Chain A
Amino acid sequence: METEVLTPEVQEGFDCVYNKPDTLTDTRFHYCPGCGHGVAHRLLMEVIAELGIQEETIGVAPVGCSVFAYHYMNIDMQEAAHGRASAVATGVKRVLPDKYVFSYQGDGDLAAIGTAETIHTVNRGENILMIFINNGIYGMTGGQMAPTTLANMVTSTSPYGRSTEWAGFPLKITEMLAMLPGAYYVTRQAVHTPNSVRKAKKAIKLGFEYQKLKRGTCFIEIVSNCPSGWKMNPVDSNKWLEANMLTMYPLGDIKVPVKEGQGE
């Protein structure tokens, strides 16, 4: 089968080419081919560009594969210690209450070492947007078991598959957080198909828009893949994500704001 290759000449004059928003720098992503981090970065930065809030946004990067998020995001940022992004974001928001503040964390960062900070940030209803990339594994350190690792899933520290008897169960921290009164908007999204990308972007936009209302924490989980850690090619990893991750971590809104006048 012949595949059509679009050259820049062909695209000229058409509005069908993806434009990089100037909220993204020219630095090339260091992410492995097919990794969801790059897509999530792009969505975040597109939303910031579209809302015109580049000058008013401060991001907090985690420790994990996205530790260098600030190389790609053309905004003011802070790099937090492992697990502490939401505490750092709290510090930022409390002294700059009228700015847009978001944190961006992996599952090891947010749901293992940073669990206390995560829960209490949401419980205080910090008016920030928390982005949570759940790839079921510790990507950066070479594919160790994460709190979100599925039962029987093979990682470098669960080489025979995660034994729930020995290592406990996959942690659905997003559902837990949705129970907290400080959570304003909690949703689980993905970025493995064009359709899921569009939905995730919508959610991120809402997350920023809601922040203006100062009604509590917006929390967006993005179920993502880790081709290198999962030892799969990108296409297979997305199929595996769909078949396995999404059963444990079903997509959709978990807590949505109560409309004015409707009460709780």
Chain B
Amino acid sequence: MEREIRLMKGNEAMAEAAIRAGMKAYFGYPITPQSEVMEYLFEQMPKRNFKVLQAESEVAAINMIYGAAGSGARVMTSSSSPGMSLMQEGISYIAAAELPCLLANIVRGGPGLGTIQPSQGDYFQAVKGGGHGDYKLIVLAPNSVQEMADFVFDGFKLAEKFRGPAMILSDGALGQMMEKVALLPEGSLPHTVPAWAATGKPANRPPNVITSLYIEPEKMEMINHTLQAKYKQLQKEEVRYEDYQTEDADIVLTAFGLSSRICQKAVDLAREQGIKAGLLRPITLFPFPEKKIAEIAETAKVFLDVEMNAGQMVEDVRLAVNGKKPVYFKGRMGGIIPSPEEILHEIEQISEQVLSYQN
């Protein structure tokens, strides 16, 4: 497919991609560092075929998403950490009612009102459920403006295939920075209104009802089984990751999103010094590439997980490594982005302490 090259901010690229992916409606509420998404969409609305509405809160926005998704429309919202927290109730309902939609969290530092600087502190919220009950989001973690755009298409596809919410988990740096992006053309992701949508009941079919309420525990358990079956299938079929020189690596870094870019640079610097470093970058945070990490744990000697938080994905890495090799963690918090040199320093120390005496 012919792609159009543009120079864009991550947030704008995501918004433009959403229009091209056939998004019918967007509901949102301003918050730094993602406000450009809705601003871009409002600027484009008169010229193109979709609708944007600024809601009175993220609570309202996510429930508008529920209503529009339940009407069979391809819909999206985005926010940043405090706003995403407000949406959690609605997301739980959306997951339970099996409504496809795309969410984007342009994460900033927390907890609380925190900072508007980039962070990865919402990994737990995105990957472990976030709201109440047993549900999961399909979580895609871009590490470039290009992926901010591409994952909109992937997110809609997965959300619709698995009838549930998908999330782009990005951060304030990726949202704000400008890069070259090659955009897919409009109309490249066809959409039909699904048969289950509540669009008005014709005489010849029973009512379509969008609900998450099953008062009988037996029924509610059945619904849970349905959800869990989807998550199993996702884990089987939709895992994505990027493998950077892990094959012969002694020390394997694990990092997602923005940190993975920094780690890639750190791996290059380490290799220049003769340290066999590699990087495994999960692209889908759920489903998590646990098999791949377990596989690497057979050959690597040690892991170093790097995140812009206090250590969240590292728990999943440790579960996957399952005690076979030590897993170290390096994190920066509060909106601080670690430098490649800082990571290199960590790699050097680990290779001195762990790798030298193991050899």
Q: Identify the A interface with B (CB < 8 A).
A: 54-58, 60-61, 67-68, 70, 73-81, 84, 87-92, 94-96, 99, 116-117, 119-120
| C-alpha gap A144/B345 in the complex (Å) | 61
For A55, list chain B residues within 8 Å (CB).
Answer: 200-203
Closest to A82 in B: B89
| C-alpha gap A119/B200 in the complex (Å) | 26
Minimum C-beta distance from B216 to chain A (A): 12
Interface flags, B68-97, vs A, CB<8A=1, else 0: 111111010000000000000110010001
User: Which of A57, A79, A87 gathers most chain B CB within 10 Å?
Assistant: A87
For B27, list chain A residues within 8 Å (CB).
Answer: 91
State whether A94 touches B66 (Cβ < 8 A): no
Give me 26 A-to-B residue pairs in the complex whose CB atoms sit less than 8 angstroms apart, sorted by A's number.
A54-B203, A68-B213, A70-B207, A74-B207, A76-B198, A76-B200, A76-B201, A76-B208, A77-B198, A79-B97, A81-B89, A84-B63, A84-B66, A91-B65, A91-B70, A91-B71, A92-B67, A92-B198, A94-B25, A94-B64, A95-B51, A95-B71, A96-B200, A99-B199, A117-B60, A120-B60
State whether B200 touches A91 (Cβ < 8 A): no
Known: A77-B209, A78-B210, A81-B93. A99 touches B200 (CB 8 A): yes
For A57, list chain B residues within 8 Å (CB).
Answer: 200
State whether A79 touches B25 (Cβ < 8 A): no
| 6 new A-B contacts at CB < 8 Å, known A76-B198, A77-B198, A91-B75 | A79-B213, A80-B63, A84-B63, A88-B70, A90-B67, A120-B56
Minimum C-beta distance from B87 to chain A (A): 11
State whether A117 touches B200 (Cβ < 8 A): no
For B53, list chain A residues within 8 Å (CB).
Answer: 90, 94
Q: Which of A58, A61, A117, A119 contacts B71 (CB 8 A)?
A: A58
**Top 7 A-B pairs ranked by shortest CB distance?**
A91-B67, A91-B64, A87-B63, A88-B67, A79-B211, A91-B68, A76-B198
Closest to A124 in B: B53
| C-alpha gap A96/B71 in the complex (Å) | 7
State whether A78 touches B198 (Cβ < 8 A): yes
Minimum C-beta distance from B223 to chain A (A): 13
State whether B209 touches A78 (Cβ < 8 A): yes
| C-alpha gap A157/B68 in the complex (Å) | 36
User: Which of A60, A75, A94 gathers most chain B CB within 10 Å?
Assistant: A94
State whether B199 touches A88 (Cβ < 8 A): no
For B89, list chain A residues within 8 Å (CB).
Answer: 81
Minimum C-beta distance from B221 to chain A (A): 19
| C-alpha gap A119/B55 in the complex (Å) | 12
B59 at the interface (CB under 8 A from A): yes
B325 at the interface (CB under 8 A from A): no
| C-alpha gap A81/B201 in the complex (Å) | 22
| C-alpha gap A106/B90 in the complex (Å) | 19
Minimum C-beta distance from B213 to chain A (A): 6
Known: A78-B67, A78-B198, A79-B210. A87 touches B55 (CB 8 A): yes
Known: A58-B198, A84-B90. A78 touches B70 (CB 8 A): yes
Known: A76-B200, A78-B210, A81-B93. A92 touches B60 (CB 8 A): no
State whether A78 touches B211 (Cβ < 8 A): yes
B24 at the interface (CB under 8 A from A): yes
Minimum C-beta distance from A121 to chain B (A): 8
User: Which of A56, A88, A91 gathers most chain B CB within 10 Å?
Assistant: A91
Closest to B89 in A: A81
For B59, list chain A residues within 8 Å (CB).
Answer: 84, 87, 116-117
B349 at the interface (CB under 8 A from A): no
B212 at the interface (CB under 8 A from A): yes
Known: A54-B201, A81-B90, A116-B57. A76 touches B67 (CB 8 A): no
State whether B200 touches A56 (Cβ < 8 A): yes
State whether A96 touches B63 (Cβ < 8 A): no
State whether A95 touches B211 (Cβ < 8 A): no
Closest to A57 in B: B200
State whether B211 touches A87 (Cβ < 8 A): no
For B97, list chain A residues within 8 Å (CB).
Answer: 79
| C-alpha gap A120/B64 in the complex (Å) | 12
